[in-house]
Amino acid sequence: MTTQGKGTLQRLDVYFWAGALIWAGLVFGADSLGILPQIGQANSWSWVFLGAGVFGIVLNFLSQSLSNISNPTAWDWGWAILFLLIGLGAFITFNVPGWLFLIAIGVLILLSAFRGRE
């Protein structure tokens, strides 16, 4: 990976966290004003995680499409999908047991370790 590519990747991480924090602020602001849509059992945290997951997935696809940066890691995809599932859980009353998240994180660690050896 070139220095330019690494810098771009780091900027994408900054864009993710900045976008996620701005989204969280907008959600909590809408909730305090009473204009946050109520769908299913969703609360403000459900909206925050849903937005962070969607934003993470969009950034992962964007980083794959740009040739001057490296592809997203298994961790990038894992966190985006985890946030998305947590956010969607309250909208569609979908509950994933905590032990399943632990297994998924373990698999991501193994994938990262095996990819590092290649």
Extents of the domains making up the chain: 3-117
Q: With H, G, I as helix, E, B as strand and everything else as coil, classify residue 57.
A: helix
Q: Which residues contact 86 (CB under 8 A, 6 or more apart)?
A: 46, 49, 53
pLDDT, tens digit (0-9, with 9 covering 90-100), for 66-87: 766 677 777 788 888 888 888 8
Check the CA dihedral 48-50-51-57 and report its sign: positive
pTM greater than 0.95 (yes/no)? no
Reported as a single tens digit per residue, the pLDDT across 22-37 is 999 999 999 999 999 9
Residues 6+ apart with CB under 8 A from 116: none
